[in-house]
Structure 1
């Protein structure tokens, strides 16, 4: 039994337990994760509707960097909704993006941020009142979120810790003399990844440059590694996300696995050093 009189999150040992508690209470809250890279989780009636982190593109980045909408159109939408509480409705009302497409993009950004956050251990968290966020989806249960993170991690992992390592590794082109002939036969999305592989960028940098999800870019880089068209360069220190330029024209990655989330110590929101086997944001 959860004591409804207690502040949400005070008895939770880790993020999965916290989300389960908020779900059971059908709470609408914002959870701010501290640490590197850190992030924000948004819940409505106990369901996760959005997650944001510097480690993965959010809905705004996916819309703008992919060219789906222009900077001018985005500014007009923000001007029409100064509270930023109805951005999704404004985007659809101004016919800048279809409702169904925006829902797909919203869910994609949510799952991608959850995956990115699962690759590092948060220092702690703070539960606050809900704040406005751009989303258009019915919400995801904590159980489904954890299952999707596990699925993505398993698809990318080739050894313990490999996914987290891959996510922070810079990538560079391999055998440049052979590239012209090989590149022509590749799908356009893989060619775009190659164009942005320059020895300085990590998978995150390439994802931001292309306006694509981190997970999707990491899958494509795995394929290019298997084809011998890219190779890993130096990994970036795990303390903070790479700050390489996010504009098209260069590379990145190498592989990692989800890190178990920490337990909370009684009376505070700072996790203990040991974690649970669950891998959530």
Structure 2
């Protein structure tokens, strides 16, 4: 395993959470490059995490564009106005494309969602590099709060040990019950959208990118549809197409290497075992 490369040793950097705590204690500003599937970048400013980027979940750009909140043309103009990409958030607000408060909510939501996505697989290596400009608008989050939120999300979704990672990487398709008269009409609009995109070719990640929604929010909706028997796993052997979702072992939030066995696909909840409060608004 490659240890983080910095100009000075970081104590207790046995895993990414310990590394982030060490960076917080030293009030460091840097970018942590995480390799693996999905891998990503963790942006730290004065010891606080301000942003994460990963192929495993939509970032701020994807949330704004795919949801139709701003147009491709407007986004291209914003990027052209700031070639350093250090002031993209300020430019979005200054042009009236997004309100300052709204952008902060989106920024925090994308940060938590990326941390959740990274927690579903064990990273291969990580390295501390110089700060890289990134789109964000929030005061920064402590490593402890970040891990608490990731744990909360995993607990909300968990059915059996390993079931969250299994749900994230499994392609889903409508079940027979979804075709019954009025079945979809009784669902909230967001569930109907997810059901429409559950075509057997994509995972929760793919649906999240297609809809411009957070990975966690889409997985919550998929869990609801699964519990109601409206979606079911789609066997890869049916068409031979591989899943494009991030693959991972037993969930261990941003942890180091693990030898945990591959979990069984999509176990169902057991009544009374997995009750939890509704997600907060930034989910």
* TM-score, normalization by structure 1: 0.83
Q: Is the 8 Å Cα contact of residues 8 and 127 (structure 1) preserved in structure 2?
A: no
Q: Give the Cα separation in 1 of the matches to 2:202 and 2:130.
A: 36
1:35 equivalent in structure 2: 36
Q: Give the Cα separation in 2 of the matches to 1:235 and 1:105.
A: 34
Ranges in structure 2 where 5+ consecutive residues have no aligned partner:
1-5, 261-283
Q: Is the 8 Å Cα contact of residues 44 and 131 (structure 2) preserved in structure 1?
A: yes
> Which one has a larger percent strand, Structure 1 or Structure 2?
1
Relative to structure 1, the CA distance from residue 72 to residue 180 in structure 2 (aligned partners, 3 Å threshold; closer, same or farther) is: farther
Matched position secondary structure for 1:259: coil
2:263 equivalent in structure 1: none
Pick one of 252, 257, 266 that aligns with 1:259.
252
Shift of 1:259: 2.3
Deviations 1:14-53 (A, max 9, x none): 1111000000011111000011111100011100000011
Q: Is the 8 Å Cα contact of residues 171 and 234 (structure 2) preserved in structure 1?
A: yes
Deviations 1:51-80 (A, max 9, x none): 011000000000000000000000000011
Q: Give the Cα separation in 2 of the matches to 1:26 and 1:9.
A: 12
Shift of 1:262: 4.9
Matched position secondary structure for 1:30: strand
Shift of 1:234: 2.9
2:94 equivalent in structure 1: 93
Aligned-residue RMSD, C-alpha: 2.4
2:231 equivalent in structure 1: 230
Relative to structure 1, the CA distance from residue 185 to residue 209 in structure 2 (aligned partners, 3 Å threshold; closer, same or farther) is: same
Structure 1 segment 78-89 matched on structure 2, within 5 A:
78-89=79-90
2:176 equivalent in structure 1: 175
Matched position secondary structure for 2:173: strand
Q: Is the 8 Å Cα contact of residues 48 and 141 (structure 1) preserved in structure 2?
A: yes
Q: Is the 8 Å Cα contact of residues 60 and 106 (structure 2) preserved in structure 1?
A: yes
Deviations 1:172-193 (A, max 9, x none): 0111673441111211111110
Q: Give the Cα separation in 2 of the matches to 1:209 and 1:56.
A: 11
Relative to structure 1, the CA distance from residue 176 to residue 169 in structure 2 (aligned partners, 3 Å threshold; closer, same or farther) is: same
2:161 equivalent in structure 1: 160
Q: Give the Cα separation in 2 of the matches to 1:120 and 1:50.
A: 19
Shift of 1:256: 8.1
Relative to structure 1, the CA distance from residue 129 to residue 8 in structure 2 (aligned partners, 3 Å threshold; closer, same or farther) is: farther
1:50 equivalent in structure 2: 51
Deviations 1:222-246 (A, max 9, x none): 111122111111379xxxx9438xx
Relative to structure 1, the CA distance from residue 165 to residue 235 in structure 2 (aligned partners, 3 Å threshold; closer, same or farther) is: farther
* TM-score, normalization by structure 2: 0.82
Relative to structure 1, the CA distance from residue 113 to residue 260 in structure 2 (aligned partners, 3 Å threshold; closer, same or farther) is: closer
Relative to structure 1, the CA distance from residue 109 to residue 6 in structure 2 (aligned partners, 3 Å threshold; closer, same or farther) is: same
Ranges in structure 1 where 5+ consecutive residues have no aligned partner:
245-252, 264-270, 276-281
Structure 1 segment 55-134 matched on structure 2, within 5 A:
55-134=56-135
Q: Is the 8 Å Cα contact of residues 174 and 231 (structure 1) preserved in structure 2?
A: yes
Deviations 1:151-183 (A, max 9, x none): 000111111111111100000011167344111
Q: Give the Cα separation in 1 of the matches to 2:76 and 2:158.
A: 40
